Amino acid sequence: MWDLLMSGAMPLEEVCVDETIASIQLKLERQKQTLKCHPTAALWIQYMDMVDILRKFLKAERTGNWDLHLSTVHEMMPFMAAAGHNLYTKSLHLYLQDMLQLKETHKDVYQSFQAGHHVVRRTDRCWAGLSTDLVIEQVLMRSLKTTGGLTRGRGMTEAQRTTWLLAMPACADVNRAMQDFTGTTYETSEQHRDMRAASQEKDQADITQMVCFLDTRDPFENTTDLKNIVTGVVAGPSTNTHQAVSVGTRIMDKMAGQTIKDFGFKRSDQAVTMIAASKNALKINDDVVSVDPQLLFQRLISAAGNMYNNRHGVFKYELASYPTSLFESPLLPRLPTKSDPADAIWKLAQDKMPAIPAHHDIQFVFDGGALLHLIPWARGSTFATIIQTYVKYVTDKFKDPIVVFDGYGSGPSTKDATHHRRSKGKASTDVHFDLTMIPQVKKEMFLANKKNKERFIHFLSDALTKHSCSTVSAEGDADAMIVAMALESSKTKLTVVVGDDTNLLVLLCHYGCNKHDIFFQPSYHIRGKTPRIWSIRHTVSALDTPVVISPLVPVLHSMSGCDTTSRPFGIGKRTALGKLKNCEEFRTLANKFAQPPETITPEEVIQAGEKMLILLYDGTAESLDDLRYKTFSTKVATASTYLQVHSLPPTSAAAKYHSLRVYHQAQEWFGSTLDPLAWGWKMVGSLLAPITTDLPAAPAKLLSIIRCNCKSGCDTKQCSCRKHGLDCSPACGECSGFQCSNAAQPSEDD
């Protein structure tokens, strides 16, 4: 049928009514109805419906189809209402009421519109209709602002506008006469631009790119969660954007029987979006609004200065949408540069670092996670060939190694946020493969799926075992098991740990070595650069001179930022290591995080963590809240530019949960298993996410005045923003910071 259509042997009208097309359409409709019970799939089906409405609207305008125009406008209204476009909703409601009565009230106009005269045409082609507002912009407004227009020196008085408008027909006649005289005409091709070969090639490239994008982010999975397929962020239970039609219909039902003047829209009736999980979400007076954290901080500080004689008390609040000194967003902690911990330790221990002895009695322990990402996959190779490449690499370079792989359970993990950051939301669907198959996706995409990785590790382990390589799979993260096996091996022979994870180095420094030395070397090195190969015995000796600090290195690593904890802004690993080496009080506090859970309470952990952060910021305050205020006062007095909110220390409320997560991670490294929900974590959908703070962004009194909901132009003191000396901002309900008299006016430089 496709070939017949393309060759012109079968007309399009006949194809549209063919039984095959009807059968396919029926199956698609049944599948859509099945998928609508899954929120993410329902959201994407709804999006497809919205695109279809827009296509029909464009068709109505281009072809001058009046009935199709009215029906598509009616279909748009629930989406307008659900999205909070209140003026559009009211206007469309009135517009449809008037237009549907046009047949009785203005028959001549109705007949003219039925003939396709509700649009403007420049040519007599079928697909040439243009909306009147579009023509006004393209013709009148364009000529108004170009050479010869009123804005080019003529002026805008009433007399000048009248003269210019009355002269337009005469100018058009002169223009046409000049074209006839010179033989120059401006005409467009009869062929529509979308039918040109170049346009079709571009469209096909865009479609291919979109298909590849969706291939690794299937929006039609059978899941009960509503999630962003790009970032993987799961929406809260109140999010209902996938039900926008029903939400908008309920709002329109409330409008029935009321006058436009008397009816008022409620924000609580609108569709609830995923903004609550987004970067700039903030709850003000039961409304979730999006405010830039820096803008919010500046407005809160200004408002606090007007309301309080002493601002000190408000600094126990973050004064931002989330703790920006600890988090990049509410779900993503600040992470240090991957090489920072190793750089800090190398600077202390690099002098006289011994090389690996040149003898054959060496036990190699290989990090399986590093091995998986080390070997490139040749295009067109089967899984069997790829696995043989891994085996050949290991057996050629290492004699009888032990390869330790991570375990990938199905439950939530404290590394969920880190995995999403690394994959950027990309994930391959489950691939039920065998060794004879050829991978159809890139290695990174394939290994981003836990089930795929677990099955691949199973095949790889079997192949390595057949070639005299020992393999071990941990229950979860393999770092602790790798170090444990290296320690056991060092009792009898020199041991080399091969891997790239800084956590391995940190744990090796903590545990040291037994009778024989342990060396830590990278799985690969950059050509032209000498790789760092660590003697753990020498490194521990350098760390423990003149005071013993090696047992506390994991605590320090966790406190200053690792895969599961936040890096406090402005605190580097070298600074933290120097504090551990030179400050006895800091070491005493860090020792509390090394105590087993049965000997210390969460409250003691919280107190110790806050004092450690104060010392890291070189502060002398009683609490982090006091230190925040002192830091703010100092920076305002000395800074030449505006103060960035993330440059302030975290609040005590945010540091509390940071300290709990630090203790949880340190204890995991030390071999204790704790419930993450009791140590600074919470469940968001099916994933674990860090708790940021337990206080609102600011006192309720402040939050209530930093945004207004004025409907009268914000030109009186009834506007809370104007009353407190603030410009309206994008957080304001009606004006959004630019549609009122209290909005910030651009300067001449702007």
Distances from the Cα of 698 to the Cα of 145, 328, 332, 694, 703, angstroms: 47, 19, 21, 12, 6
- What is the DSSP code string of 38-99? SHHHHHHHHHHHHHHHHHHHHHHHHHT-HHHHHHHHHHHHHHHHHHT-HHHHHHHHHHHHHH
For residue 599, pLDDT beyond 90: yes
Q: What percent of the chain has pLDDT over 70?
A: 88
Any residues with CB less than 8 A from the CB of 162 and at least 6 apart, and which? none
Question: Token pair of 613, please?
Answer: 């952060």
pLDDT for 748 equals 42
Residue 291's pLDDT band, with cuts at 50, 70 and 90, is low
**476-479 long-range Cβ contacts below 8 angstroms, 24+ apart:** 476/406, 476/407, 476/409, 476/413, 477/406, 477/407, 477/415, 477/668, 478/367, 478/368, 478/369, 478/404, 478/405, 478/406, 478/407, 479/503, 479/504, 479/507, 479/669
Residue 36 one-letter amino acid: K
Residue 366 β-bridge partners: 403, 498
pLDDT for 277 equals 42
CA 732 – CA 709 distance, rounded (Å): 6
Instruction: Tell me how crowded residue 202 is: count the other CB atoms within 10 A of its CB.
Output: 12
For residue 738, pLDDT beyond 70: no
Distances from the Cα of 471 to the Cα of 235, 362, 395, 461, angstroms: 39, 17, 13, 6
| Mean pLDDT across 278-300 | 57
For residue 43, pLDDT beyond 80: yes
Residue 651's pLDDT band, with cuts at 50, 70 and 90, is very high
**Phi/psi of residue 494, nearest 5 degrees:** -65, 140
**681-688 long-range Cβ contacts below 8 angstroms, 24+ apart:** 681/414, 683/412, 684/234, 684/236, 684/277, 684/331, 685/225, 685/227, 685/234, 685/235, 686/225, 686/234, 686/412, 687/234, 687/412, 687/416, 687/417, 688/412, 688/413, 688/414, 688/416, 688/417
pLDDT for 432 equals 78
| Mean pLDDT across 314-320 | 85
pLDDT for 749 equals 44
Residue 294's pLDDT band, with cuts at 50, 70 and 90, is low
Position with higher pLDDT, 722 vs 167:
167
**Average pLDDT in the chain:** 85
Question: Domain residue spans in the chain?
Answer: 16-127+192-277, 284-352+533-702, 356-532, 707-750
CA 571 – CA 561 distance, rounded (Å): 9
pLDDT for 388 equals 95
pLDDT for 750 equals 41
pLDDT for 452 equals 87
Residue 427's pLDDT band, with cuts at 50, 70 and 90, is low
Residue with tokens 């409620």: 266
Asked if 723 and 710 count as a contact pair (C-beta separation under 8 A), the reply is no
For residue 216, pLDDT beyond 90: no
CA 526 – CA 652 distance, rounded (Å): 43
Q: What is the rounded (10 degree) CA torsion for 169, 171, 173, 175?
A: -140
Q: Which CATH class is domain 356-532?
A: alpha beta
CA 596 – CA 608 distance, rounded (Å): 15
pLDDT for 701 equals 74
Residue 314's pLDDT band, with cuts at 50, 70 and 90, is confident
For residue 310, pLDDT beyond 60: no
pLDDT per residue as tens digits for the range 171-190: 888 988 988 888 887 666 65
For residue 746, pLDDT beyond 80: no
Asked if 366 and 403 count as a contact pair (C-beta separation under 8 A), the reply is yes
546 upstream amide cis, omega within 30 of 0: yes
Which range has highest mean pLDDT (38-42, 164-168, 439-443, 493-497)? 493-497
pLDDT for 288 equals 55
| Mean pLDDT across 60-75 | 95
| Mean pLDDT across 276-281 | 47
CA 654 – CA 694 distance, rounded (Å): 7
Instruction: Tell me how crowded residue 388 is: count the other CB atoms within 10 A of its CB.
Output: 15
pLDDT for 149 equals 79
pLDDT for 279 equals 45
How many residues are present in the chain? 750
pLDDT for 385 equals 95
Please choose, from the candidates 351, 394, 337, 336, the residue with its C-alpha nearest in 3D space to the C-alpha of residue 534: 351
CA 39 – CA 271 distance, rounded (Å): 14
pLDDT for 395 equals 93
Residue 567's pLDDT band, with cuts at 50, 70 and 90, is very high
Residue 107 one-letter amino acid: K
pLDDT for 654 equals 95
Please choose, from the candidates 560, 572, 570, 611, the residue with its C-alpha nearest in 3D space to the C-alpha of residue 588: 611
Residue with tokens 């409405």: 53
pLDDT per residue as tens digits for the range 69-110: 999 999 999 999 999 899 899 999 999 999 999 999 999 999
pLDDT per residue as tens digits for the range 358-402: 876 899 999 999 999 899 999 889 999 999 999 999 999 998 899
| Exposed e or buried b per residue across 436-470, where buried means at least 16 C-beta atoms within 10 angstroms of its C-beta | eeebebebebbbbbbebbbbbbebbbebbeeeebb
CA 676 – CA 411 distance, rounded (Å): 12
Burial of 495: CB neighbours in 10 Å, binned 0-12, 13-18, 19+: buried
Least confident of 99-108, 297-306, 674-683: 297-306
Please choose, from the candidates 19, 81, 58, 68, the residue with its C-alpha nearest in 3D space to the C-alpha of residue 271: 81
pLDDT for 676 equals 94
For residue 639, pLDDT beyond 90: no
